[in-house]
Each structure stands twice: as C-alpha cells, then as structure tokens.
Amino acid sequence: MKKNSIQKQWDDAADAWADFVRTGNDWTRDNLNNPAMFKMLGNIRRKRILDLGCGEGYNARIMAKKGAKVRGVDFSKKMIDLAVKEEKRNKLGIDYHASDACNLRMFKNKTFDIVVCFMALQDIKDYKGAIKEVSRVLKKHGRFVFVIPHPCFEVRIIGDKKIGGWEYKQGTKERSVDDVPYWTKDKLIENALYYTVDRYFDTCKDVIQWKMERLTKHFETSSFHRTLMSYADALHRAGFFISRLKEPKPTKTGLAKHPEYFAGNLRIPQSIVIEAVKC
C-alpha cells in the first residue's frame, strides 16, 4: 500500500490522537456524535461490523463491548499499530487491518451486517470507490452508518479567505480560548447574530488545523468538502438507499460540562449521521 500525504498526516498525528480520544478529551465525539450514531445503530449484539477508518480503535472497542463481532480498517499503519497494542492489553476479539478503504480485499463479498464509518469518509479522496467496497462487503439489506461534518455548515479556507461561520455584534472582541470550536471564531456565542454559508458547491481539499490545548501535540490533516448530493449520488450508484439521517445536538451532560464549547451546536449542526441500506 503506497503511502499518500493524507495517510502520512495521520501517521504523524497518531500518538497525539490516541491520547486525545483515550483521555476523554474528544468532547465532540463523546458528547455529540457518538451518542447520535450509537442510538441509530441500536442493538448490535452478535452483529458482524466493519469499522471503516477505525483510527486507534476507540469506537471499535465500544462496539465489541456491546457484543458485536468487530473488524477494523484504517489506512494509517501507526493508528492500526496502536489499536493492535490496545487489543493485546485488553482482548475484545477485534481484528485490525492496515488498508485503503477502496481496497478491502481481505474481506469476502457479503461479509458484514453493518459497516460504520465515523468522521472518516470526508478524509477519503476516492469516496466513491470506498462506498462501492462498502456495498460489496455488506450483506443484502445490510446497513452503512456514517458520520461526517455537515457539508452545509463547514467553515473552509479557500485561498487566504475564510468562508462561512458566525457573524457577530459590532464590537465583539477576539478571545484567546483555544478550546472554543473554530466555527465560533473564538468569540462569545451569545454575541453571534447569524451563521453565513457560501461557495457550497465548490468542492476541494481543505487543510484542518488541530491546535486545541487538549492535544499533547498540534498537527494538521486534510479533508474534502463535498455536497450532500455528491454523497447521495455515490450511495445510489453503489446500490444503497438512504433510510435515515440525524443532525446531532449535544447531550445534556456535554452541555453541563462544556456549555460554551457546545453553545453553537444548539443553533447550527456540526455533523450529520446517515444510514444507508444496501438494496
């Protein structure tokens, strides 16, 4: 498997990322996206599940503890190495593979009941190829449940210009709080007047800066902005129909622990959870 630039970014970030999620510092995952995704998954006991883009295995371990038979795939070998080491320390019966999402050659046709892809599909350049492979390895009527940043509300950098995000009351001062999400521009959310959206149809590769104080090391990754229509068309061509979607809101626990961090998500969704069923 030839290493590409995005894969190298995640290899370089692997240790910091593992610490981030394993120490409870991935607030958005734990208090916004995972609760919505697992509610959509429902009872997964005895289900054969592929965790596509599994990273260091955080969600794979949750699913295994819920009684699922889990396999994990990620293109970052360093992420997989970390997942394997954790499996050896705490055996849950998870098998991990370092492989591209577009080439799941280690799995036969119609192997899985469910494929889960958590905050990874937007990082995959050939998302159409990945979705085709998901269809191949899923059983008939199997479910593909994935979470992505909401394409309608992404803050993006095009050239040197920031596109989208909150507009504020006149006189609102900048703040130096790293742990306020980027879409609040580090300003008090109560001063936010409205949220702007522009150039939605301009699909391109974006660089994501990870600079929160909660990280042991800052790093950058790459992501691809695509329209909802792009994902829907790719699913349709691969033999899926979209059965459900959810735009998560923060949990009560999340709001109580981190009220300022999640305040904007009560007005604008950060993400979308989509369930597609193989016809």
User: Could you tell me what percent of the chain has a pLDDT over 90?
Assistant: 78
Would you state the pLDDT for residue 169?
Answer: 81
What contacts 170, CB < 8 A, 6 or more positions away?
Answer: none
Cα(224)–Cα(196) distance, rounded to whole angstroms?
20
pLDDT at 171 over 80: no
Confidence of residue 115 (pLDDT cuts 50, 70, 90): very high
Q: How many CA atoms, within 13 angstroms, populate the side-chain half-sphere of residue 80?
A: 17
What contacts 48, CB < 8 A, 6 or more positions away?
Answer: 68, 69, 71, 111, 112, 113, 114
Tell me the domains of the chain and their CATH numbers.
5-150+226-278 (3.40.50.150)
Least confident interval from 87-101, 151-165, 196-210: 151-165
* Closest to 120 (Cα-Cα) out of 60, 165, 67: 60
Confidence of residue 173 (pLDDT cuts 50, 70, 90): low
Would you state the pLDDT for residue 157?
Answer: 81
Q: Give the global pTM.
A: 0.92
Average pLDDT of the residues of the chain: 91
Higher pLDDT, 158 or 246: 246
Q: Which two tokens stand for residue 176?
A: 């130096």
Would you state the pLDDT for residue 172?
Answer: 62
Would you state the pLDDT for residue 165?
Answer: 87
Mean pLDDT (whole number) for 57-74: 98
Residues counted in the chain = 279
What contacts 7, CB < 8 A, 6 or more positions away?
Answer: 75, 76
List pLDDT tens digits, range 8-59: 999 999 999 999 999 999 999 999 999 999 999 999 999 999 999 999 999 9
In angstroms, how far is the first alpha carbon of the chain from the final one? 31
pLDDT at 127 over 80: yes
Confidence of residue 181 (pLDDT cuts 50, 70, 90): very low
List pLDDT tens digits, range 210-240: 998 899 999 999 999 999 999 999 999 999 9
Would you state the pLDDT for residue 188?
Answer: 59
